[in-house]
């Protein structure tokens, strides 16, 4: 009899169940790899076209000089990563990048700014960017840090579709990665976004030295949001010289795929995005991630400040796999 049938997770949460325990997700992680892939595919095919990949492009509209101390981030002002601080991009340059992204096949255009949170004078400029990018027929997404009262509503009124604000890692590991704010501050911003009626893009980073139980705890936090994020980026740590996590121990690639599968099973209606770290992944590893239920990628030559597989390579990979971009 198949291990899928006799596994203890059969008595755990079902995809329709609202609450997942860390222990239940650990049990998913512990399944034989092929059984986990099979279960993830079953869930994926019940909710999505298994051969369709959504493509987003991410542009850094304000780079460097962030006051936060996130241990993975090349844009933190306190770390010597060789990154020069830049001002907010002019509207015309942002729109040109958005047109290029659309011509290249992206359906969503994401704009990121290295701030703890936006000042109103800066937000006013971002609001204009959102309105103009939206007018091009693209879905819009921004990641601007922590929002103040009323700012999410302004973004909604400008036509924003998604707000990205990752919770990064398990609650018990958060303080080992970030010290200038706590994870509760991130949840406060996510609540503002939800209350404003904006879709949530929220995920985490894998490979920062966390244990498997912590990876399960991260997935539990995401899956137990009510509702879960519409878009869940799963990032593989990109080791940036000069940051505290530059020498983090490498993660077993199969463990990363297992994380994707657990995200798919516990968040069946969410887009699970294969995000940072793809430049270091082989085509074969990316294909396993798609098999595990990833159905969205960042598309283009750069992901904020770190490299990303070139668009031609992505098109070639999807063609070889018989998959289509949407």
For 208-244, how does the pLDDT look when each residue is reduced to its tens digit (9 = 90+)?
Answer: 999 999 999 999 999 999 999 999 999 999 877 778 8
What predicted TM-score, i.e. pTM, was given to this entire model?
A: 0.87
Contact between residue 194 and residue 153 where contact means Cβ atoms under 8 Å apart: no
Peptide bond into 61 cis (omega under 30): no
Residue 5: pLDDT band by 50, 70, 90 thresholds? very low
What pLDDT shows up at residue 103? 86
Mean pLDDT of 282-298: 94
Question: Between these two residues, 306 and 163, which has the higher pLDDT value?
Answer: 163
Res 40 pLDDT > 80: yes
Q: What is the pLDDT of residues 124-146, one digit of tens each?
A: 999 999 999 999 999 999 999 89
- Identify whether the C-beta of residue 52 lies closer than 8 Å to the C-beta of residue 107: no
Q: Can you give the pLDDT at residue 305?
A: 47
Other Cβ atoms less than 10 A from the Cβ of 174: the count is: 19
The per-residue pLDDT for range 264-289, each reduced to its tens digit, is: 999 999 999 998 888 888 999 999 99
pLDDT of residue 105: 81
Q: Following CA atoms 214, 219, 224, 230 in sequence, which dihedral angle do they give, to the nearest 10 degrees?
A: 150
Annotated catalytic residues are 66, 70, 73, 110, 141, 201, 273
Q: Looking at the DSSP assignment, which residues form a beta bridge with residue 66?
A: 76
């Amino acid at each position: 009899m198949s291990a899928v049938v006799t596994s203890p997770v059969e008595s755990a949460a079902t995809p329709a169940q609202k609450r997942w325990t860390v222990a239940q997700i650990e049990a998913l992680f512990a399944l034989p790899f092929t059984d986990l892939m099979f279960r993830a595919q079953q869930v994926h095919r019940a909710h999505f076209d298994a051969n369709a990949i959504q493509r987003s492009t991410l542009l850094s509209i304000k780079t460097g000089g962030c006051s936060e101390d996130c241990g993975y981030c090349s844009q933190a002002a306190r770390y010597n990563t060789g990154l020069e601080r830049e001002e907010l991009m002019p509207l015309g340059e942002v729109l040109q990048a958005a047109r290029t992204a659309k011509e290249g096949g992206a359906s969503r255009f994401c704009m990121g700014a290295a701030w703890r949170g936006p000042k109103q004078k800066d937000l006013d400029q971002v609001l204009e960017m959102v309105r103009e990018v939206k007018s091009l027929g693209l879905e819009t997404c921004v990641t601007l840090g922590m929002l103040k009262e009323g700012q999410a509503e302004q973004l909604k009124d400008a036509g924003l579709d998604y707000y990205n604000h990752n919770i990064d890692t398990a609650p018990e590991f958060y303080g080992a990665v970030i010290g200038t704010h706590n994870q509760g501050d991130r949840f406060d911003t996510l609540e503002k976004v939800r209350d404003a009626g904006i879709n949530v893009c929220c995920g985490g980073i894998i490979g920062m030295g966390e244990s498997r139980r912590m990876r399960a705890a991260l997935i539990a936090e995401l899956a137990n949001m009510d509702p879960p994020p519409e878009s869940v980026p799963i990032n593989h740590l990109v080791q940036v010289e000069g940051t505290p996590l530059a020498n983090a121990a490498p993660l077993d690639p199969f463990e990363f795929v297992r994380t994707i599968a657990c995200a798919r099973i516990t968040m069946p209606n969410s887009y699970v995005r294969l995000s940072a770290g793809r430049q270091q992944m082989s085509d074969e590893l990316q294909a396993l991630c798609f098999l595990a239920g990833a159905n969205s990628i960042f598309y283009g030559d750069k992901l904020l400040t770190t490299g990303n597989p070139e668009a031609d390579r992505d098109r070639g990979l999807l063609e070889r796999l018989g998959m289509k971009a949407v």
